[in-house]
Chain A
Amino acid sequence: MSDIRHSLLRRDALSAAKEVLYHLDIYFSSQLQNAPLPLVDKGPTDLLEEFLFQVPKERGAPPKRLTPLQELQLLEIMCNYFQEQTKDSVRQVIFSSLFSPQGNKADDSRMALLGKLVSMAVAVCRVPVLECAAFWLQRTPAVFCVRLARALVDDYCNLVPGSIQTLKQIFTASPRFCCQFITSVTALYDLSSDDLIPPSDLLELIVSWIFEDPRLILITFLNTPIAANLPIGFLELTPLTGLIRWCVKAPLAYKRKKKASLSNGHAPNKIAKESTSGEDRDCHQLYSKLHLSVLQVLMMLQGHLTEKNLYGRLGLVPFDHVVPLVEDINRLSDELNPLNASKEIELALDRLAQALQVAMASGALLCTRDDLRTVCSRLPHNNLLQLVISGPVQQPTHGALPPGFYPHIHTPPLAYPALPALPAHPVQTFIPGMTFPYRPIR
């Protein structure tokens, strides 16, 4: 390796980078022939860091920087390389040796280059790169995934108007990447602050993807060998939790944003007001659509789980993530004046109740109703939620299941109400003798 290094040192930044890639290819191809899982030793990694990510080895040495033009050339070379590399395994190994975070200072330039590479691949539609990136997203800690997601969102949603169409097209090229992208985006935009509300372009993109084919959500789950216990700190298998969070929190988060912009003294002029309110309305429709898709996917899930023999063993919607979601809703509804935001609170709670109910019924959420009751006890009152957390009398229909789990979705104790079919006015009927004040949902 050191003789290679010496020869590389004499070259200019771009050709040295090219050279490194070339040597790396030879190295891993030969390794893979010898062993199915090659050992990635220190030598090639160091070379990469020095000549591809420009981290100076000697202290005080002036860092060789690629000019933006050279960088673009390099990106093109890499895209072409991955495109032309026919062996899947070599491609994977090289990709991960290039871009797996090492926890050193090269990580920043590593991530920057990865962002540009993936962005480039999206633009010029290099499927192999996208597939590699999808795998990378699966095997990399969530913090780095979020950075990649942000880079892509910046490039395609913020920078170039209209370029979202380019991103949209990759749905057909690499659904796998789309799925992972959605997961990382939902991890990034958790609506915890105004900045973390997804841009409307992005939202529209994702909704259009999912609405077109809700199974997109499950692609990673279905195509991955599942270990029963998911590793911590990585992206989840499906974006389900994140999407539920979006749908549930969205009404409250948008309301908060509107309130903040009003109280900031930015009295919006009329046109801006109209356009934002129009945009908001569009968003609400999108979230509605998204919610419906999520519920549909959840209902689909039971079959897949049973197929994989994971029913009751794998919580795709972990209870641990439901708890903070409920707390967030609680805090948000406290924050917003309940008098002003009653409609939004109601909507959020309805969606929460629906999601919880369906998730529990499909076996995605593994918990008892008692757990739910304690978690949800402090939420504002909502009829549907109350109904969900009190639940029907336990029927241990499934012997295989531990008691307390409610598997059936298709035989709910109450008819599953479709939202649009609701009466225009709430019917307030109070039936005495019930153990809890029962009001039919609106």
Chain B
Amino acid sequence: MSALCDPPGAASPPRPPLSAQELSQEVKAFLSGLDPVQGTPLSPPAHARCALRLLRCLPPARHAALQHLRGLFDDQVCSHLLQRESGAPSPSPKACPGAEVLQEARRALAELVAANPRAWAPGVAAWASELMGQLSSKYSGRPGVPPAASLNELLQLWMSCPATRALLDIYSQCLAAMVGSCPDACVDALLDTSVQHSPHFDWVVAHVGSSFPGTIISRVLSCGLKDFCAHGGVGGEAAAPGTAGDKRVPKIASVVGILGHLASRHAGSIKQELLRMFHESLGSPREHHKATVPFLLQLALMSPALLAAVSPELVDSLQPAVLNQLHQHFSGVPRDELEGVVGVVVHLLCHTSAGALRTLRFLLATAAPASVITAPGPALHEGVREACERLLQLLLLHLQKLVHGRSSPSLAEGPARPVPFLEALRPHVRELCLDTLRMERKRCLWQHQLLALLAVHSAPHGAAEALFFLLALARSPEELALAPQLHAGLRAVLPDPLPAAVGAAVAQIHAGRLPEPQLAQLLRNLALLLQQPQPRDGDGDAGGGGEAAALGAALAKHLPDLAQLLLHPGAEVAEAACRLLAACPLPRALPPAHLLPCVRAAVHRFFAGLWAGEAAALAPGVKLLARLSSVSAAAAKAVLAQLVEGALGGRNAELFGGTAEPPPGQEATAPVPPPVSLLDTNRRFTAGLNTSGGVWSVFHAGVIGGGPKPAPGGGRRGAEELSRNTQTFLSLVLRCCRGSGPAVGAEAAKAVAAALVEAVCPEAAGAELSWPPEELARATVERDLRILRRFRQHPLLFPLLRLVAGGRPALCYCSVLLRGLLASLVAHWDACRAASTLASPWHLGASCSLVALLAEGSLLPPVLGNMHELFPELAPFEVHLLLLSVWGYLRENSPLPQKFTFQPELGAFRRDFGRDGDVGKHLAVLHSVLHRNIHRLGLL
């Protein structure tokens, strides 16, 4: 048999066709495996060559030949793997006859496919793919073979193996040959094999898919669709993946697997193809087009990657015309089938993540159009709207199930499964809240519901965020009502989200992310909520004390941060913050580090309110300070000190008719309002400047770099305004001093006193309380004069001192001021050469006030204390004498707090003058003066 004995290289294609005789010999040899001439067994390569010859010459034997070649490829793969395992260097291909035959087989098949692709390609492709599937499954467990999961290693291994490489080449050639006309058969073979040998075969699909992305994608889809139709995909069972026909699932699963693999590289073309399928199917009466939408849904159901790729663009393409078509498309479908489709759609919506917000908006807009006036273009069918509405309701229901169902059964099981739809909406809470606050009929309800679900889903952070946005963005009471509604809903399932919401708000404020009007709005909203009356019965909320209380508690934790806002440059914001703080309950134990900045800011705010001159604006400030002062004694002290300092220092003095001390040696230049105030800045940075008063708060000439202080008396105010301001201020101070009791508290008064001393004459702040002999006063003339001047500049000082006097024995602590004033007055009257005291009215008034003060503060006994009534009738000299006698008295009976005793029945301190020395000797001058002027003082 010459053909069999030929050397292997002689098996070249252009040989004359074998004669019938030769052929039958060949068949015999092939079947028996024996050399027909010698009767010895054929070597495997010779046997394979025999098969190749039959493949070329004997059409009915081609299947048998191909089957025989399987063994050849199998052997080659096996020996390749063995070689790899042993690590031996691969011998040259020439050395191995098997490898050579393998190449011959590859060439032969390539020739046949090239000669007549239509006849050969489908069969050869099926053979090659099936063989590859078998081989890769068979050797998957071998030690050298990487696991199915590591696709790249697998690809590398099999591509380096000549046998599988050849098979893959053959398959690719078949596909390439058929791509132009009808590659369905080839792709079908690939799909079937993929189903059978799924994980191990993936490398083939990956390689082929990336070589022919367009073909594979569209063919895989069309094969899948055909299969879907063939298995009654039009039926409603598409709804439930579990009940779908068992035979279809694997095919569609492999479609999904392949597309999923390709999605990483060719997402664009997949997306395009899917969309094309969708649009093509619309309005087409053909059967498999009817099934397209369910098929696509099923695909999306099984592959989140595909869903993500398609959904955003799909939503964009759903114009009214398309929607109407879709409606038409489904109008003929039976009801339960439709239910199934809707179920799938809802499920998919829940799993949409890309473009979730867009999808949601689209659904809302379609289900409840914003306006009756439709956009130009085809009108939307009423059925579409209804369908969308239904879809939305079902979606909400489904989400609710998911959200509430997932956490309740066992939290211990691990992290809850996220719902992609809600997960995707998380970053869009703000937009969602904005949409909700638009309060558009039905939409608002849905949106609110969704917001609640979202909040629960992404608790705790999401809940806080949602609440925060609702609070910050509401602009009317109705809108504001949404936040408590949401909160009430959330409280049922979550730990109270309010503190977190407030925390979020503060964080946002700190980050400066809120524009000024919105910030003010937020603060106002919070204040409003705090002030809302509690309509509850109260029994349920005995512990929590209602919503407002909860909010208050939450806010109280962030008091320092909120206090900062009082200093906000925007008046609106500051005012809103003031309102909020005024309504906010203050914690009992406020650490000084929090308290002092707060107080300082509040005082600043109060004066700012005074400057604004609006009573309404002032009220919250007053209330806030009053409440601050009632927190603790220390707080009250701080408030008072700040108030006094504020009222006397700087420009605020003008409010009360005072003049800021004229800067020495500086004529009045045009006041340039400083753009930056160091003081303000310091107030804002609450560090530093904690010493209330003291030398550091004194500013004589202005701020360096900011120019001098504005000239005194820049703005003249009406007497009425002045008295109103004074009244407001005093009543505030009074309220602060009173604390809980009806009378001015001693401690509070003392604080005011200290503050006064420091404000008026800081250098004398440490002076002793006891009075020196009158002669010694000469040593302090300059200081005394300054004190006098201060009193002149600040009319407010006298009422303030009177207030202090009310809180006995606090006035004692002002004795240095009183001493200085008295000494200056004595000197003035001594030097005064006018006939009547009326010639220097201010001094007269000051003297009168001083004496009255001393009497009020129980520093003078009643008799001496009343003599100021004489002063207007007397000559300056006489006043001088009288005042000297006052000095004398005080010199002898120093105004020391020890002289006062607490009298519990009055709840106040009292001084018993009876225990002091005789008053009589100090009354001698008075008596003389009385006698001398008896004609004018008859009234006494």
Contacts and interface: CB of A to CB of B under 8 A. Distances in A.
Nearest to B55: A160
A120 B66 CA distance: 17
A409 interface: no
Contacts of B23: 123-124
Max chain B Cβ within 10 angstroms of own Cβ: one of A123, A163, A166, A169: A123
Contact of B67 (A68, A75, A117, A169): A68
Given A124-B27, A163-B57, A68 B20 contact: no
B59 A160 contact: yes
A159 B27 contact: no
B14 to A, nearest CB: 9
A6 to B, nearest CB: 29
Interface string A160-172: 1111011001000
B31 A73 contact: yes
Contact of A120 (B61, B67, B115): B61
Nearest to A173: B20
A150 interface: no
Interface in A45-80: 67-69, 71-73, 75-76
Given A158-B118, A159-B116, A159-B119, A72 B61 contact: yes
Contact of A119 (B20, B59, B68): B59
A125 interface: yes
B378 to A, nearest CB: 34
A156 interface: yes
A72 B56 contact: no
B59 A161 contact: no
A123 B116 contact: no
B64 A68 contact: yes
A68 B63 contact: yes
Given A72-B64, A123-B60, A163 B17 contact: yes
A155 B61 CA distance: 10
A282 to B, nearest CB: 19
Interface string B421-437: 00000000000000000
A408 interface: no
A159 B115 CA distance: 8
By size class, the interface of chain B is 20 to 34
Q: Which of A69, A71, A124, A155 has the most CB of B within 10 A?
A: A124
Given A124-B20, A124-B23, A163-B17, A75 B60 contact: yes
A159 B59 contact: yes
Interface in B646-695: none
A75 B62 CA distance: 13
B79 interface: no
Interface in B284-316: none
A116 interface: yes
B913 interface: no
Interface string B111-140: 010011011100000000000000000000
A370 interface: no
A154 interface: yes
Nearest to A77: B31
Contacts of B30: 72
Contact of B31 (A76, A160, A165, A166): A76
A75 B59 CA distance: 13
Interface in B861-898: none
Contacts of B64: 68-69, 71-72
A76 B119 contact: no
Nearest to A164: B17
B734 to A, nearest CB: 100
Contacts of A116: 60
A119 B63 CA distance: 13
B272 to A, nearest CB: 22
B765 interface: no
A159 B68 CA distance: 19
Contacts of B57: 123, 160, 163, 166
Contacts of B66: 68
A161 B118 CA distance: 13
Given A123-B20, A124-B24, A124-B27, A72 B115 contact: no
A120 B116 contact: no
A67 B67 contact: yes
Contacts of B24: 124
A375 B936 CA distance: 161
Interface in B573-610: none
Nearest to B30: A72
Contacts of A115: 60
Contacts of A124: 20, 23-24, 27, 58
B682 to A, nearest CB: 84
B27 A76 contact: yes
Contacts of A163: 17, 57, 59
B28 interface: yes
Contact of A72 (B17, B31, B112, B120): B31
Interface string B21-57: 1011001101100000000000000000000000011
Interface in B196-229: none
Contacts of B115: 161
A160 B24 CA distance: 17
A73 B56 CA distance: 18
B70 to A, nearest CB: 10
Contacts of A67: 67
Contacts of A158: 116, 118-119
A162 B58 CA distance: 11
Contacts of B120: 159
Contacts of B61: 72, 120
B262 to A, nearest CB: 29
Contacts of B21: 125
Given A159-B116, A166-B17, A76 B68 contact: no
Contact of B56 (A75, A119, A160): A160
Contact of B63 (A71, A73, A117, A160): A71
Interface in A393-415: none
Interface string B690-726: 0000000000000000000000000000000000000
Contact of A165 (B17, B62, B68): B17
A418 to B, nearest CB: 38
B123 to A, nearest CB: 9
A72 B59 contact: no
Interface in A157-194: 158-163, 165-166, 169
B17 A154 contact: no
Contacts of A159: 59, 62, 112, 116, 119-120
A271 to B, nearest CB: 16
Given A71-B64, A120-B60, A123-B20, 10 more contacts: A68-B66, A76-B27, A115-B60, A119-B60, A124-B24, A159-B59, A159-B116, A162-B17, A163-B17, A169-B20
Interface of B: 17, 20-21, 23-24, 27-28, 30-31, 56-64, 66-68, 112, 115-116, 118-120
18 contacts: A68-B64, A68-B67, A69-B31, A71-B63, A72-B60, A76-B27, A76-B31, A120-B60, A123-B59, A123-B60, A124-B27, A125-B21, A155-B59, A155-B60, A159-B116, A159-B119, A160-B56, A160-B57
Closest 4 CB pairs of A and B: A125-B20, A155-B59, A68-B63, A72-B64
